[in-house]
Amino acid sequence: MRWTLRRRQTGQTGEQIAARHLFRKGFRLLEHNYRCERGEIDLIAEDHGTLVFVEVKTRRSLASGSPEEAVDREKQRKICRAANWYLQPWQRWPLPIRFDVVAIELDESDHVVAIRHIPAAFGTE
């Protein structure tokens, strides 16, 4: 139970850091923790005319790999399915879309060690 709470807190901290980072880069944040029956998307934003679906991965240790390595093919498929669900109300979305990853490394005191923003980290299925 305690481990799950710690992981959830780490994820929430990472998402807040990523949102601030993207905002400072000029992104307009549209959704935070979008959930639907197809899955979840951490952040949805607009970047100079492009709709961006953002997966945020946060790690306190690299023992199990880098944060961006956790966005495997299955995770990408889930994000794409949720993005399609998000876009359903529009027959033709008027903006280009892309899928970004923000990888964050924290120390045990929640200080940022590294932030890597990877635009167009993967494409649709």
pLDDT at 3: 58
- pLDDT tier at 41, thresholds 50, 70, 90: very high
Task: Set out the domains of the chain in order of their start, with CATH numbers.
Answer: 2-122 (3.40.1350.10)
Rounded CA-CA distance 125/71 in Å is 14
Rounded to 5 degrees, what angle do the CA atoms 17, 21, 23 make?
Answer: 115
* pTM, rounded to two decimals: 0.91
- Please choose, from the candidates 115, 118, 119, 120, the residue with its C-alpha nearest in 3D space to the C-alpha of residue 21: 115
Instruction: Using the predicted structure, report yes or no on whether residue 64 has a pLDDT greater than 90.
Output: no
All residues at 6 or more sequence positions from 3 whose CB lies less than 8 Å from its CB, including other chains = none
* 109 against 5, higher pLDDT: 109
Residues of the chain above pLDDT 70, percent: 94
